[in-house]
Amino acid sequence: MFTIQLARPSDVGRFAAIELAAARLLIGHAPESILTESTHPDALHAAQAQGRLWVALEEDVPVGFAIVEMLADGMPHLNEIDVHPDHGRRGIGAALVRTICAWAVKGGYEELTLTTFRSVPWNMPFYSRMGFEEIPPAELSPELLEVIRDETARGLDPAARVAMRYRCP
C-alpha cells in the first residue's frame, strides 16, 4: 500500500535514484543525455519548502515523486513525475497526478500544464485519461514555449513532444 503526501526534507535525497531508474523506461524515446540527468537538489529543496513537491511512500520509503514549477504567477506546471519501475503499474503515478490536480483546483488556478512524449503509451495517453488535453500551438503561452525551447536545447525532439493542460473546474 502507498500514500501520497507533501515531501519531507528527508525524502529529497532519494529522488535522483527514482528519477534515473524511471528514465530508463524511455530508452529509444529520449537521448541518453536526458536519461542520465536528474532534477537539481536545490530545485527539489526549493519546491519542497514551497509546498510544490509530493512523494509517494510505501512503508515510509519514497518510491515516486512529482514536482510542480511555477512558470509565472498563477501558472503551475507539472515539471516532473517519476515512479520507480519496481513500484510501477500500481496506480502510484495516477495518484500523484490526481493529488496535484486537486492541489491546483484548491489553489484556484485556471489550469495545470505539462509537457510529455506524444507517442509513449504511458505518457500522452495516460495524461489524456487523467483529464489533460493537448494545447493547440496557437494557445501556448510564452512561458510554455520557453519550456519547449529548453527541452529542445537539451536534445528532445519537439515533434515528439506535446504540451497539455488540465483545466481546473
CATH at 70: 3.40.630.30
Is the model's pLDDT at 121 over the cut of 90? no
Domains held by the chain: number: 1
Q: Which domain holds residue 139?
A: 2-167
Please state, in angstroms and rounded to a whole number, the distance separating the CA atoms of residues 93 and 110: 22
The alpha carbon of 82 is separated from its chain's Cα centroid by a whole number of angstroms, namely 7
Whether the pLDDT of residue 122 is over 90: the answer is no
pTM for the predicted model, two decimal places: 0.95
Who's near 11: CB < 8 A, 6+ residues apart? 48, 55, 57, 62, 65
20, burial (CB in 10 Å: exposed 0-12, middle 13-18, buried 19+):
middle
pLDDT tens-digit profile of 77-99?
999 999 999 999 999 999 999 99
pLDDT tens, position by position, 140-166: 999 999 999 999 999 999 999 999 999
Tens digits of per-residue pLDDT, 23-81? 999 999 999 999 999 999 999 999 999 999 999 999 999 999 999 999 999 999 999 99
**Grid cell listed for 155:** 536534445
